[in-house]
Amino acid sequence: MGPLKKIINNCKQATFLIEKKLIGKLTLREKMVLGIHLIGCSWCRLYDIQSRKIGEMVRQLFHSSVSADARLDDNFKKELQERIEEKLNKN
């Protein structure tokens, strides 16, 4: 399977990148991989739209019900990201 075909057919990677984009920045390569995939995959485009909407709703709910100084600890976020990446790499 050629590299372009792998990108086009890899919804698992695309959904990971969609979620990563919501919490941080993607590398240029990741942006390109995701962009190529989204051109050909209507399911992942829908997932991208839904994820952004859900994230927006959660942020609005969070900001309306919690004080502005409430934040997740940076170490907790880093550990959580590492655990997510570890699980994804096992599959």
**The pLDDT of residue 77:** 86
- CA pseudo-torsion sign 82, 91, 1, 7: negative
- CA pseudo-torsion sign 58, 23, 10, 32: positive
**The pLDDT of residue 58:** 87
Give 31-63 pLDDT, tens digit per residue.
Answer: 999 999 999 999 999 999 999 999 898 888 877
Residue-number span of the structural domain to which 37 is assigned: 3-90
pTM: 0.61
Domain count, the chain: 1
Which pLDDT band, with edges at 50, 70 and 90, does 80 fall under?
A: confident
Q: What are the residues whose beta carbons fall under 8 Å from the beta carbon of 51, sequence distance 6 or more?
A: 18, 19, 22
